[in-house]
Structure 1
Amino acid sequence: MTVYVRSLETAVPATKLIQAEARDVFAAQPGLSRLGSRLVATCFDSAAIETRFTAVDELTNAFRSDDPQFYDPDSGLLLNPSTKVRNDIFAREATKLFVEASAAAVKACPDLNLLDITHLVTVSCTGFFNPGPDYKIVRELGLDPSVQRYHLGFMGCYAAFPALRAAKLFCEADPDAVVLVVCAELCSLHVRTSNDPDTIMGSALFADGAAAAIVTANPAAEETALLQLDHFETVLTPVGEDSMAWNIGDHGFEMVLGNYVPHIIDDHIVGALQPLLAREPGLQALPYTGIRHWAIHPGGRSILDKVQARLGLTDEQLIPAREVLRNYGNMSSATVLFVLRHILGQDSEPGDERICSMAFGPGLTVETALLTKLRQAPPAARNPAETRQQELLQEFPVA
């Protein structure tokens, strides 16, 4: 049974961070050591990021508050709110992104009735609340109250793949299933000033964003579908358990992103791809000429560099990943869906176009997917860098 992605839409908060400005704020913090100051400059400048988006309005100098919690622009000090303060903001602001991305994905399927959606899969690793985002989407969009809801929490940057794989399984088990998959992450909630290299790297890389897709196996969907979901695989590398992690601290979530991660990926990426590419003859040997598009999760510039060099990919094939990194940063689980949306927006050539996609996360886990691009996506419902898509929020208001 063939399973299709009918729509794939993205959303970001309204507040844009300029990388150079954020660097100067972090570099000016009084508690930094001389080495810490150098690390801030190096990490921010070498990240290959120009802009990012955040749900924390006060992280910009233009915002003024009588009771700042994250950043005081008058003193230039980064503050250190508790995990509860950060999570309370997540519950409020993540709901907006979950609903906005979901509404955009539904609107991109004009023949779809909201009551047709049978399953809902939500994804996030940057906060918790209950009733959770799955409940909020059902209520705010007006989905059938009996829709089957599943939340994948705290998996990390690769979690979009388990979500899409679950959607594929639901559709294969029930030909009438229509699955809404939504990833939303507010990584910027957990930034802080520190001399710790992992914390500095996280502050230089991570951002906020959301993406949503409609997945179905209905044969009629082939006429308008954007993607075909072919195969998924999961591989744990033999080393790296301590090199990438995401833990809960008293002042937000704490990231471990060791500088050895790109080397682990360099050593094991070819082996991690083999179970996926072995599914189809002709795709198993370098330089993988049967695959035109590569949707790589841009965990960081050095990770993309290692993947490109090891797999022999062209600069053109890495444009989607590098463009997303430059314009949006690393939005954890939502990021690879932004990369896929970029690929779908490129001009299509006659015939099917294969896509190999991959993301990396704690473990060290490598999630891979083999997809088929069926047609070029229509222009995005909005340019996330410019507007909050007010018409969707008016149609699906958030309480």
Structure 2
Amino acid sequence: MADKPLVLGGPTCQRVVMSAYLRVPQTVLPPTPLHQDEVREVFASQPDIDRRAVRIVNASFGGSGIDTRYTAITELGTEFAGDATFYDRSSNLLLSPGTSVRNELYVRTATPMFVEAARQALAASDDIAPEEITHVITVSCTGFHAPGPDFAIVTELGLRPGVERYHFGFMGCYASIPALRAAAQFCHADAEAVVLVVSAELCTLHLRSSSDPDTIIASSLFADGAAGVLVTGRPPAPGVPGAELDSFATAIAPDSVEHMAWTIGDHGFEMILSTAVPKVIEANIDDALGALCAADEELTYARDCDDLAGTVTHWAVHPGGRDILDRVQHKVGLADAQLDAAREVLRTCGNMSSATVLFVIRRILLDGASKTGERLIAMAFGPGLTMEGGVMTVLGGAGDGA
């Protein structure tokens, strides 16, 4: 496609365009579910918040579009009987451990999720052996440690010690898309490349009680999860679901940096997520889609991207919240069915930061309505406000022959 490098070779300098192919992402959730109604009652009953904050809690949690999400904090589960660090069930108090305590839990619980997502991604592709992996890309913004999850994946899964390792850290919810773009670039350069991309986010480690509206909104949305996916220079076997990675583009909404940010505080990482974010995305989504149209040779004809809803069948939009999906749907003119996968991931898993869009892509590729040759646009949004997008072509569609 348009953004793929042209490789010159041979005496006639014949041009060869390398391709990159994505296998179906594999997903992992921690074992402790959070039921939104129950969590709302806990946050609304905290003694340190004012009555205005209680109203915001009820509105944010109730209008989130989430029924259930998952957490790595086992003490939030109803059967936990140990010492309280994050939540004292006997007094119904949310506690406020320091950043070190939160990050220690990240190290203990995120690493197994990274490894398991990577293990599942390998197990789902019978034609790829661990020793064939050439690159490992890990993605996370909710914790830090070294040696990091890339090291654990290599050592625990028996990958070659010399495999190239990269970490995309602290980029926020959009990070999996540039990770896929980097994986595609490795495959464009080498047809034998096999890139393992793994995202794991433990967002709930940083939730806290507060009367601040931005903090309340974050607490109503964020969850934990992981996803692993293989990107290869050779296509999957005929009939095996996947996608060809065609093109990528980035856009930045002007004058919007104050609406979404992610910083490190003394009591965890602090999310700035203003109520204006959905409006900012709605106002600038045309620029992001325009950049994608310019990058993809099959979409360049789309005038102002007005006909994209009819041209592109599938939309893996990062479900940062229900209002974001509603505004993107209205602005682009998408049918309800085109956002079913995104809304279902939001409803059942919440916003798992960078891992979320991989959950949505998985649902689309395994959907019985997906057919080979249909186009798919993936989009995610994060600090900056940055909008990342990718265009794919469905392969081995589950709906082929239907």
Displacement of 1:271 after TM fit? 1.6
2:356 corresponds to which letter in structure 1? T
Q: C-alpha distance in 2, partners of 1:142/1:246? A: 34
**2:7 aligned residue:** none
Q: Which residue of 2 aligns with 1:287?
A: 307
1:239 is displaced (CA, Å) by 2.0
Residue in structure 1 matching 2:243, options 227, 232, 236: 227
State the number of aligned residues.
377
Percent identical across equivalent pairs? Answer: 53
The CA deviation at 1:8 is 1.3
> Which amino acid counterpart does residue 382 of structure 2 have in structure 1?
G
Distance 2:21 2:236 in 1: 10
RMSD over aligned Cα atoms: 1.4
Determine the C-alpha separation between the residues in 2 that align with 1:160 and 1:349: 22
Which stretch shifts more, 343-352 or 206-215? 343-352
Distance (whole Å) between structure 2 residues aligned to residue 261 and residue 218 of structure 1 = 39
- Residues 282 and 290 in structure 1, CA contact (< 8 A), matched pair in contact too: no
Q: Note the 1:99-138 alignment, pairs <5 A.
A: 99-138=115-154
**Which secondary structure does the structure 1 equivalent of 2:311 belong to?**
coil
Match of 2:181 in 1: 165
Give the letter for the 2:38 counterpart. Answer: E
Secondary structure at 1:120's aligned position in 2?
strand
Matches within 5 A, 1:169-318: 169-218=185-234, 224=240, 226-278=242-294, 279=296, 280=298, 281-284=300-303, 285-288=305-308, 289-318=310-339
Residue 105 (structure 1) shift: 0.5
Q: 1:302-329 deviations in whole A, cap 9, x for unaligned? A: 1111100000001111111110000000
The whole-number CA distance in structure 2 between the counterparts of 1:377 and 1:130 is 40
- What is the rounded CA distance, in whole Å, between the counterparts of 2:238 and 2:126 in structure 1? 15
Which amino acid counterpart does residue 46 of structure 1 have in structure 2?
Answer: G
Greater alpha carbon shift after TM alignment, 214-223 vs 187-196 = 214-223
Match of 1:344 among 351, 357, 365: 365
Asked if 1:323 corresponds to 2:339, the answer is no
* Aligned-partner Cα distance in 2 for 1:377–1:15: 31
- Does structure 2 retain, via aligned residues, the 8 Å contact 1:86–1:190? yes
- What secondary structure sits across from 1:242 in the alignment? helix
Are 2:24 and 1:24 aligned? no
Q: Indicate if the aligned counterparts of 1:64 and 1:73 stay in contact, CA closer than 8 A.
A: no
- In 2 relative to 1, CA 75–178 (structure 1 residues): closer, same or farther, beyond 3 Å? same
Match of residue 386 from structure 1: none
The one-letter code matched in structure 1 to 2:50 is: S
SS of the residue 1:373 aligns to: strand
Counterpart residue number, 1:385: none
**Number of the residue aligned with 2:390:** 369
The answer as to whether partners of 1:298 and 1:321 remain within 8 angstroms in 2 is: yes
Letter aligned with residue 58 of structure 1:
E
Query: Cα gap change, 1:349/1:298 in structure 2, threshold over 3 Å: closer, same or farther?
Result: closer
**Are the equivalent residues in 2 in contact too, given 1:14–1:55 (CA < 8 A)?**
yes
Q: Which amino acid aligns with 1:286?
A: D
Alpha carbons of 1:31 and 1:369: their partners in 2 closer, same or farther (altered >3 Å)?
A: same
Partner Cα distance (1:149, 1:248) in 2: 25
1:357 to 369, 373, 378: 378
CA distance in 2, matches of 1:172, 1:338: 25
Q: Deviations over 1:72-121 (max 9, x none)?
A: 11111100000000000001100011011111100001121100000000
Match of 1:57 among 57, 74, 92: 74
Amino acid at match of 2:171: M
Matched, 1:15 2:35: no
Structure 2 residues without counterparts, runs of 5 or longer: 1-17
Separation of aligned partners in 2, 1:351 and 1:358: 20
Amino acid of the structure 2 residue aligned with 1:347: G
**Partner of residue 75 from structure 1, selected from 91, 115, 123:** 91
8 A Cα contact 2:201 2:354, kept in partner:
yes
1:41 equivalent to 2:58? Answer yes
What does the per-residue CA deviation read over 1:321-360, in whole Å, with 9 as the maximum and x for residues that have no partner?
1100000000000000101011011114554110011000
Mapped to 1, the partners of 2:372 and 2:148 lie a distance apart of 41
SS at match of 1:172: helix
Q: Tell me, yes or no, if the aligned pair for 1:126 and 1:253 is still in contact at 8 Å.
A: yes
The 1-side partners of 2:159 and 2:42 are apart by: 43
Q: Within the alignment, does 1:335 sit opposite 2:356 as a pair? A: yes
Name stretches of at least 5 consecutive residues in structure 1 with no aligned partner: 379-399
CA separation in 1, counterparts of 2:193 and 2:307?
Answer: 37
Change (3 A) 1:367 1:350: closer
| Deviations, residues 165-212 of structure 1 (Å, cap 9, x unaligned) | 000011111111100000000000001101011111111100000111
CA distance 1:219–1:353, change in 2 (3 Å)? closer
1:222: how far off? 6.2
SS in 1 for 2:24: strand
Change (3 A) 1:203 1:97: same
CA distance in 2, matches of 1:305, 1:115: 44
- How far, CA to CA, are the matches of 1:348 and 1:319 in structure 2? 12
